[in-house]
Amino acid sequence: MTYFPEEVVEHIFDFLSSHRDHNAVSTVCKAWYRVERLSRRSVFVGNCYAVRPERVVARFPGVRSLSVKGKPHFADFNLVPDDWGGFALPWIEAFARGSPGLEELRLKRMVVSDECLELLARFFPNFKVLVLISCEGFSTDGLAAIATHCRVLRELDLQENEVEDRGPRWLSCFPDSCTSLVSLNFACLKGEVNAGALERLVARCPNIRTLRLNCAVSVDSLSKILACAPHLVDLGTGSFTIDHPAEAYHRLINNFTKYKSLKSLSGFWDASPRCLPAVYPICGNLTGLNLSYAPAIQGADLIKLIRLCLKLQRLWVLDCIGDKGLAVVASTCKELQELRVFPSDVCGAGTAAVTEEGLVAISSGCPKLNSLLYFCHQMTNAALVTVAKNCPYFTRFRLCILDPGKPDPVTNQPLDEGFGAIVQSCKDLRRLSLSGLLTDQVFLYIGMYAERLEMLSIAFAGDSDKGMVYVLNGCKNLRKLEIRDSPFGDAALLEDVGKYETMRSLWMSSCYVTLKGCKTLAAKMPRLNVEVINERDESNEMEENPSDLRIVEKMYVYRTVAGPRNDAPDFVWML
Amino acid sequence: MEEDFRKGEGRPQLLDLIPNERDWMVKDVGGGGKCFGVSEEKKLELRLGLPGGEDWPAVKEKREEHSIQSALSLGHYSKVSKTICTNPSPVGAKRGFLDTVESKTEVFQQQQPGFLQLQAKGKELSQKTNGRAEQQSLEKKACGSPAAHGSAAAPCGDGAGANNSSQTRTAPTPVVGWPPIRSFRRNLASISKPSLESQNGGPETAVKFENGRKGLFVKINMDGIPIGRKVDLKAYDSYEKLSLAVGELFQGLLAAQRDPLTAGTQKNAEQKQAITGLLDGSGEYTLVYEDDEGDRMLVGDVPWDMFVSTAKRLRVLKSSELSASSLGAVSRKRTAT
C-alpha cells in the first residue's frame, strides 16, 4: 500500500465516512498520517478540553467542518455550575487565524458569546452551516451578525439554546440577496419575530427544506409561510392555539392539504386539540412527530392523530399519552424506530401516566424500535424481560423511573434482572441509562454483556465499589461514564486507572470519592485532567476541613493532550 | 424552618397533614428489611436490611453499611442533603447519624402534600435542637403513610414519592437535577397545569413558554401551615401568575389540614376553596414579602422586576393579622399610590 502514489491513497481515504475510520488510518504509518491530515475535511472533537484548538488547526489545515462538545452531559440537568467552562471563543479564534476556510461549525453544550458569532460572521467568508445545541451566552444580536454577514449561509440551526432576546431585528438582517437558506431553526427563541421579514425570507429561499419556528409565530403567519414554501420537509410550527381567527385556521388546513413532501412535524407550542385536524391531511406521510411541547393534547385527540401516522419512525410525546395511547402507537406505527416519552407532571404524583404496560405494548407492536427514552412511574422486571425479547435491536435505551431507587412494584425486587435482560439481548446497545432500585448485580450483567456499550448513566444505584468495577472491567468500548448519588468510592475509582485513558470522560457526583482518591488518580495519570468542582456554598467548609479525606461533591475526569486547562473558575480545582 | 416546627408544637393538626392511614405497620418487605415506619425513636438508628421494598434513603442506609468508609459516609450524607437543599445551614462535613436521618426526614416531610405546580427545590436543614421530637414523629408518619395496604406492591415508606396507590399526593423528592430533564421541559410541565384546567370551553390561557434559566427560589410560608415551600420567581412574569400559583400551592395544604382523609385525591380539587385576593387585600389571606433590606412589604407594590430582584422570602398572612406595625412601610406606600 505504501507504494501507491499519495493521490491514490488520498482518493481512497475520501471514501471513509466516519471519524473513527479516519482516526484509525492516520495511525497506520507516517505516510498515511500525512496524507490523511491534509485530506481531512471534517473533524469531531468530543471534549473541547481534550486538545488545544491550535493543534487541531495545525494538524488539519484543510478542515471544512468542525464539531466540538463542551460541558459534560449532566450539565443539562443543572449539575454543572454555570461558569464551569466550555468556551467556544478559543476555537473560533484559532480557526479564524489558521483556517478561515471553515464552512461548518457544530457546537454542543458550549458557551458561545456574541463576540464568537461576530467573528464567525466576519472572518469566514465561506461559512455555510451553524448548528448550536444546548449552548448559551449569546443573544439575538449575535444572530443578527450571522444573518448580516454570512453571504452563503445554508443552515442556521438553534436547538434548545438559552438565547437572550434583544428584539426581533435579527431576522430582518438577512439581506435581500440571501437566497441560499436550506434550514432555519429558531424554535428555542423566546422573543417576538418580525412576521413580514420571516415570510419574505422564506419566500426568497427556494431551497428551504427545514423550518422550525418559535412560539411567537402565529397561525396566520404560518399559513402564509407554508404557501410560499411548498417543498418543506421538516416543519416546526409556531404557536398552535385557537386564539386565531377562523379564516387563518382554514387557510392553514388548505395549505396542509397541498403538502406532499412534509415528513417531520414538531413545535405545537401551546397547541390546542381543536387545531389538530389541520394536520390530519399530512399525517400519513410523516416519519417524525414531536408533540412533547403540547401538554394540552391528550387522550382521545392524541389517539386520533396517531392513528393516522402509519409511517411514523420517530415519535416524541408527553406521558399524558398514557398506556392506552401507547397501545395505539403500537398497533399503528409499525415502522417506529425511536420513541421518547417525557414526563408532563414532574412535581405532583397524580395518576401514573405511563407504566411498564405501555412500554411492553410498544415493544410487541414495534419490533424495529432501536432508540428509547422513557419516563415512567414504575417498571417491572417482567416487563423489561419481555421488552428485551421483543426488541433486540436497541442501540439507545434510557429508562427513567421518576422515583429514585424504586423497586419492581410487583415483586419488590431490584430491577437488576430486567436491565440484565436488556443488555444481554441487545447486542448493539451503545447507550444505556439506568434507574430504579439496582444493586451491584446489574453492573455485573452490564460488564458481562454490554460489549458495545459506549455511554452509561447511573443514578442512585449499586451497593458497593464492586458495581463500578464490574463496569470498568467489562465494558471494553465504554467512552462516557456518568454517575450520581451512588456508593462508589476511591477503591473503585483507582481500580484501573489506565481505563480512563481509553474513555472520553468520567463524571461522579454525590458518590464516596474523596479528595485523596482524586489526587492519587491525578498523580498516577498525567494525561488525565482530574477536576474537582466545589460549589460556592461549600467553600466555608473547605477551609474548616481541608483534609484529603473529604468527600468530593463533584468530580470530572477526562483524557487530554492539552494539559490542565487555564480557563477554570475558582471553584474548579485542577488536580 | 425551626420556627415552623415550633409553631407546630401542640397542634394536633400537624399530624393530620398525613392524608392516609395512621396505622402503618412495620412491614416485612422483601428480604426481611424493616421499613422506617416503626414507632420507637430508636428504630430510626437501625441499619436497615436488604433492598427491596425499602424507600430510597433507607436503601442508602443499607449501602452505607457495606461501604468501606462508614465514617465518611456520614459526611457523604450531609453532602447528599446539601445537594437537596438550596440554602443549607453551614454544617460540618461529619454529622451524627441522627442528624443525617433528620435531614432526610425533611425530605420526606416535604413531599407529604405534594405540590403540583412548583418544583420546590428543597428545604433548609434545620438545626435539630428543638423540633426534634416533632420532626421524628412527623418522619415516622411520613414514612408510613404512602404504604398501601391494598397494593401489596408499594413498598412501605416509599418516601421518594409517586406511587401507584393513587390516593396519596406525595410528590417526588425534589432532588437537584432529577428527573433528568432539561430546565425548559421542567418549566413546561409545571406551567401547563393551570392551562389544562381552563381547557374546558372558553379560550385558552396562553401558556408562556418558559425557557428555564437558573430559577430564583425563595421560601414561602403560610400562616397556620408549619411546612414552608419554595417558589421560583423566575417562573412567573407577573403578580397575577404568582398569586395564582401561590394560591394553588397552599390550597391543598389548607384543605389537607382541614380534612386530611379526603384531601389526597385530585377529584377534590374543585371542592377546595380557591385562595384568592392575595394581592388586593380582599381575600382571607394576603401575600407579603421580605425584601433585601429586611422590610416586610406587600406584594404588588413595586414593579415586577424590582420585586423579583429584591424579594428574599414570601409569606401568606391572614389578612386580619396584617398589623399596621409590621407593614408600616407598606401602608405608607399604599396611600402614596
The one-letter code for the residue type at B260 is: P
> Is the Cβ pair A77, B193 closer than 8 Å?
no
Query: What length is written for chain A?
Result: 575
HEC string of A351-413?
Answer: CCCCCHHHHHHHHHHCCCCCEEEEEECCCCHHHHHHHHHHCCCCCEEEEEECCCCCCCCCCCC
> Which of A406, A532, A539 would you mutate first to test chain B, the one with the most B CBs within 10 A?
A406
In this model, does residue A182 exceed pLDDT 80? yes
Residue B128: per-residue pLDDT:
38
Report the C-alpha gap between B56 and A52 in whole angstroms.
43
Number of Cβ pairs < 8 A linking chain A and chain B: 233
Contact B114 A347 (CB under 8 A): yes
Q: What is the pTM of this model?
A: 0.68
- What is the structure's pLDDT at B293? 79
* Closest CA of chain A from B77, distance in Å: 9
Q: Is B282 exposed, middle or buried (0-12, 13-18, 19+ CB in 10 A)?
A: exposed
pLDDT value, residue B274? 61
Question: Exposed e or buried b for every residue in B68-106, given b needs 16+ CB within 10 A?
Answer: ebeebbbbbbbbbbbbbbbebeebebbbebebbbbbbbb
By C-alpha distance, the chain A residue nearest B119 is A347
- From B51, B73, B190, residue closest to A346, measured CB to CB: B190
Residues 92-121 of B with CB under 8 A from A: 92-93, 114-120
Average pLDDT over residues B91-120: 39
Cα–Cα dist A67/A503, whole Å: 18
Neighbours of A491 (CB within 10 A): 17
User: Tell me, what amino acid is at B229?
Assistant: R
How many whole angstroms separate alpha carbon B316 and alpha carbon B133? 26
Q: Please tell me which residue of chain B has the smallest CA distance to A355.
A: B164
Who wins on pLDDT, B189 or B147? B189
**How many whole angstroms separate alpha carbon B315 and alpha carbon B174?**
21
Question: What digits encode the pLDDT tens for the residues A321-363?
Answer: 999 999 999 999 999 999 999 998 765 445 558 999 999 999 9
Strand-pairing partners, residue B311, are: B291
The mean pLDDT of A109-138, rounded to a whole number, is 96
SS3 A484: strand
Residue B19 has pLDDT above 70, yes or no: no
- pLDDT-above-70 percentage for chain B: 27
Q: What distance in Å separates residue A215's CA from the closest CA in chain B?
A: 7
Contact status, residue A58 vs residue A51, Cβ threshold 8 Å = no
CA-wise closest residue to A48 among A9, A100, A87: A87
Chain B residues within 8 A of A491 when measuring between CB atoms: 68
Does A395 score more than 90 pLDDT? yes
Please compute the mean of the pLDDT values over residues A308-323 and round it to a whole number.
Answer: 94
CA distance A232 to A184: 11
So what's the pLDDT on residue B214?
52
**Which helix (H) or strand (E) element contains residue A259?**
none
R_g (Cα) of chain A, nearest Å: 25
**Quick one: pLDDT at residue A168?**
93
What is the band of B227 on the pLDDT scale with cuts at 50, 70, 90?
low
Chain A residues in contact with B69 (beta carbon < 8 A): 489, 512, 514
CB spacing of A349 vs B169 below 8 angstroms: yes
- For the ranges A134-138, A160-164, B329-333, the lowest mean pLDDT is seen at B329-333
The predicted-structure confidence for B276-299, as pLDDT tens digits, reads as follows 777 777 778 888 888 877 788 888
User: Is the pLDDT confidence value at A174 over 90?
Assistant: yes
- In the predicted structure, residue B6 carries a pLDDT above the cut 70: no
- Average of pLDDT values for B318-326? 65
What local confidence, expressed as pLDDT, does residue A548 receive? 79
In 3D, which of A165, A219, A185 has the Cα closest to residue A106? A185
Structure confidence at residue B126 (pLDDT): 37
User: For cell 412527530, what's the residue?
Assistant: A289
Average pLDDT over residues A482-503: 95
| Partner-chain contact A350 B266, CB within 8 Å | yes
As a whole number, mean pLDDT of residues B62-91 equals 40
Residue A438: pLDDT band (50, 70, 90) is very high
> Average pLDDT over chain B, rounded to whole?
53
User: What is the residue whose three cell numbers read 394536633?
Assistant: B12
Residues of A with Cβ-Cβ distance to B172 under 8 angstroms: 346-347, 349, 402-403
Record the cell numbers describing residue A105, joined without a space: 461549525
Q: How confident is the model at residue B226, as a pLDDT? A: 66
Question: Quick check: A575 and A519 in contact, CB under 8 A?
Answer: yes
Using omega within 30 degrees of 0 as the cis cutoff, is the peptide bond preceding B179 cis? yes
Longest CA–CA separation in chain B, Å: 68
Contacts 24+ apart (CB under 8 A), B211-214: B211/A162, B211/A188, B211/A190, B211/B183, B211/B184, B211/B187, B212/B182, B212/B183, B212/B184, B212/B186, B212/B187, B213/A162, B213/B183, B214/A78, B214/A82
Strands laid side by side in the B225-232 sheet: B225-232, B217-222, B311-318, B285-291, B296-298
Categorize the per-residue pLDDT at A138 as very low, low, confident or very high, splitting at 50, 70 and 90.
very high
- Helix residue spans in A278-321 (DSSP H): 280-283, 299-306
pLDDT at A47 > cutoff 90? yes
- Answer with the residue of higher pLDDT: B234 or A187: A187
Looking at residue A237, its pLDDT comes to 92
Could you tell me if B119 and B174 are in contact, meaning their C-beta atoms sit under 8 angstroms apart? yes
In this complex, do B178 and A538 lie within 8 Å of one another by their Cβ atoms?
A: no
Q: What is the pLDDT of residue B165?
A: 39
Instruction: Give B119's contacts in chain A (Cβ within 8 Å).
Output: 346-347
Inter-chain touch A462–B211, beta carbons under 8 Å: no
Contact flag B204-A404 (C-beta cutoff 8 Å) = no
The one-letter code for the residue type at A131 is V
What's the pLDDT score for residue B195? Answer: 40
Query: Poorest-confidence range of A133-137, A418-422, B17-21?
Result: B17-21
Q: How far is A297 from chain B (nearest CA, A)?
A: 9
Q: What residues does A212 pair with on adjacent strands?
A: A185, A236
CA distance B60 to chain A (A): 8
Q: Measured between beta carbons, which residues in chain B are less than 8 angstroms from residue A76?
A: 180, 182
Give the chain B residue nearest A549 (alpha carbons): B72
pLDDT of A229 above 50: yes
Of A12-16, A339-343, B80-84, B119-123, the range with the highest mean pLDDT is: A339-343
Across-strand partners of A111?
Answer: A87, A136
Task: Identify the pLDDT of residue A183.
Answer: 97
- pLDDT over threshold 90, residue A113: yes
pLDDT at B110 over 70: no
CA A254 to chain centre: 35
- Does pLDDT of B68 surpass 50? no
pLDDT of residue A108: 97
Least confident window among A71-75, A264-268, A272-276, B112-116: B112-116
Which of B 285-324 lie inside 8 A of A, CB atoms?
none
Cell numbers representing residue A223 in the block: 399559513
pLDDT on residue B97:
40
What cell does A205 get? 429561499
The mean of the pLDDT values for chain A is 91
Q: What is the pLDDT of residue B253?
A: 67
Q: Is the pLDDT higher at A255 or at A395?
A: A395
Q: How far is CA B256 from the centre of its chain?
A: 13
d(C-alpha A293, C-alpha B195), whole Å: 13
Predicted pLDDT of residue B303: 83
pLDDT band with cut points at 50, 70 and 90 for residue A196: very high
CA distance B122 to B84: 6
C-beta neighbour count of A476 within 10 angstroms: 12
Rounded Cα distance, A295 and A301, in Å: 12
pLDDT at A509: 94
* Per-residue model confidence (pLDDT) at position A142: 96
Query: Is residue A503 within 8 Å of residue B196, measured between CB atoms?
Result: no
Beta bridge partners of A131: A106, A157
Chain A residues with CB under 8 Å of B19 CB are none
Sign of CA dihedral A12, A13, A18, A20: positive
Q: How far is it between the farthest Cα atoms of chain A?
A: 73
Shortest CB distance from A296 goes to which of B170, B172, B195? Answer: B195
Distance of CA A152 to the CA centre of its chain: 27
Q: pLDDT band at A382, cuts 50/70/90?
A: very high
**Cα separation of the two ends of chain B:** 35
β-partners of residue A299 are none
- Please, which residues have CB within 8 angstroms of residue A75's CB and are 6 or more apart in sequence? A84, A109, A134
Output the nine-digit C-alpha cell for B172: 417526588
Task: Spell out which residues of chain A touch residue B52, defining contact as CB-CB under 8 Å.
Answer: 407, 412-414, 437
Nearest CA in chain B to A486: B60
The string of DSSP codes covering A461-474 is --SSHHHHHHHHHH
What is the pLDDT, as a whole number, of residue A240? 83
**Whether pLDDT at B116 is above 50:** no
Question: What average pLDDT does range A248-252 have in this prediction?
Answer: 74
CA distance A246 to chain B (A): 13
- A402 with B196: Cβ contact below 8 A: no
Write out pLDDT tens, residues B166-204: 334 444 446 788 889 988 887 765 554 444 333 333 333
pLDDT higher than 80, residue A295 = yes
Q: Which tops the pLDDT comparison, A6 or A166? A: A166
CB contact (8 A) between residue B88 and residue A348: no
Q: Which residues contact A266 (CB under 8 A, 6 or more apart)?
A: A187, A212, A234, A235, A236, A237, A288, A289, A290, A293, A316
Gyration radius of chain B over CA positions? 21
- Cell (9 digits) for A566: 487555564
